């Protein structure tokens, strides 16, 4: 630290304030100190800083699975958002209860945790270690927890309205699992868009987010002229089912997915879908958690991230 102070032309106390992110340093001085740290390859000792600040600079991420595209993309985006703010990330998996995951995180003395998607549904019934700050992703609004989620309802309504605008008399829905908040919200958006134009919805066909589930659903949807799928992976399986049944997409049946996974533009045909901004979701979740950890005033307790219709060749 003394070498950094000498290189930057400041006191050791000023270097300490920069390391501990104190607001009592003017921007020009902070920039000189950070430049000197970079030139000298100085890295603050995490354990020593934890003793000084009472924070480990580590946050936890709780998931039930990384097999879904959404969870794996959120893992990467959350790690990047945490690193930008000087925090490390610890990943734990939860089974039927997140209580054990919370205990493991408490033992590692994390400053807070983000709970993703399917695991979020388990939070209300779980006992939380005292002082463990939480942000949940994809959960109903709560007075007790900070919540971040995509605009599932708006995205699903946009997908349904897009298919109706192409002249389809109705839109069928290949929905996600019944216990999923995201699946329920997307189904709600689909129903809302049909109700807005006076159309009675057909029975929902339900899958488990996988391409295999989409392929199996092809039999139940064989007579549909338009299908809104709750995610892109199930849409991929449905496209295969239609191809094997001799049904052309989009000439015979229009298909819209949800997520805009990286491969969606290379499906056959390229998939019209609803884009979730996973980077924005992670930034908002990490931002809310860090604000709570560091006591930043004036930060909203919850956030809804907009979605966007991406029009490709699977609809016409």
pLDDT, average across residues 110-126 = 86
**Residue written as tokens 């939480």?**
134
Pairwise CA distance, residues 72 & 66, whole Å: 5
Question: Mean pLDDT: which of 39-43, 106-110, 207-211 is highest?
Answer: 207-211
In this predicted structure, the answer to whether residue 289 has a pLDDT above a threshold of 60 is yes
Rounded Cα distance between 208 and 104, Å, is 29
Domain annotation for the chain: domains and CATH numbers: 2-44 (1.10.260.40), 58-150+278-305 (3.40.50.2300), 152-276 (3.40.50.2300)
For range 231-260, the mean pLDDT: 98
Half-sphere exposure at residue 235, Cβ-oriented, CA atoms within 13 angstroms: 34
Pairing of strands 58-63, 112-116: parallel
pLDDT in tens, 51-71: 455 567 999 999 988 888 888
pLDDT of 144: 76
Rounded CA separation 306/184 (Å)? 17
Q: Is 107 exposed, middle or buried (0-12, 13-18, 19+ CB in 10 A)?
A: exposed
What does the buried/exposed string (b/e) look like for 235-247 if buried means 16 or more CB atoms within 10 Å of the residue's CB? Answer: bbbbbbbbeeeeb
| Tens of pLDDT, residues 23-47 | 778 889 989 988 988 888 887 655 4
């Amino acid at each position: 630290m003394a070498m950094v102070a000498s290189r930057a032309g400041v006191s050791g106390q000023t270097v300490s304030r920069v390391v501990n992110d104190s607001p009592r340093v003017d921007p020009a001085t902070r920039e000189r100190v950070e430049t000197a740290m970079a030139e000298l390859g100085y890295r603050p000792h995490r354990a020593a800083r934890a003793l000084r600040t009472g924070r480990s600079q580590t946050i936890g991420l709780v998931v039930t699975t990384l097999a879904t595209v959404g969870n794996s993309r959120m893992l990467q985006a959350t790690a990047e958002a945490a690193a930008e703010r000087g925090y490390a990330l610890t990943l734990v998996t939860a089974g039927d209860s997140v209580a054990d995951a919370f205990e493991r995180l408490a033992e590692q003395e994390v400053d807070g945790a983000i709970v993703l998607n399917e695991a979020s549904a388990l939070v209300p019934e779980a006992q939380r270690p005292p002082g463990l700050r939480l942000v949940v992703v994809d959960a109903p609004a709560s007075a007790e927890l900070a919540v971040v989620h995509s605009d599932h309802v708006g995205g699903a309504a946009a997908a349904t309205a897009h298919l109706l605008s192409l002249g389809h008399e109705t839109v069928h829905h290949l929905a996600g699992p019944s216990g999923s908040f995201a699946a329920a919200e997307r189904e709600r958006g689909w129903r809302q868009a049909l109700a807005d134009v006076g159309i009675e919805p057909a029975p929902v066909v339900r899958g488990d987010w996988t391409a295999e589930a989409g392929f199996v659903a092809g039999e139940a949807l064989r007579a549909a002229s338009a299908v809104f799928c709750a995610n892109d992976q199930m849409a991929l399986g449905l496209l295969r089912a239609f191809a094997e049944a001799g049904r052309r997409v989009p000439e015979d049946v229009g298909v819209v997915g949800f997520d805009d996974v990286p491969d969606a533009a290379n499906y056959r045909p390229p998939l019209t879908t609803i884009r979730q901004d996973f980077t924005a979701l992670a930034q908002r979740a990490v931002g809310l958690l860090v604000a709570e950890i560091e006591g930043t005033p004036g930060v909203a307790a919850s956030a809804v991230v907009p979605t966007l219709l991406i029009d490709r060749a699977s609809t016409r």
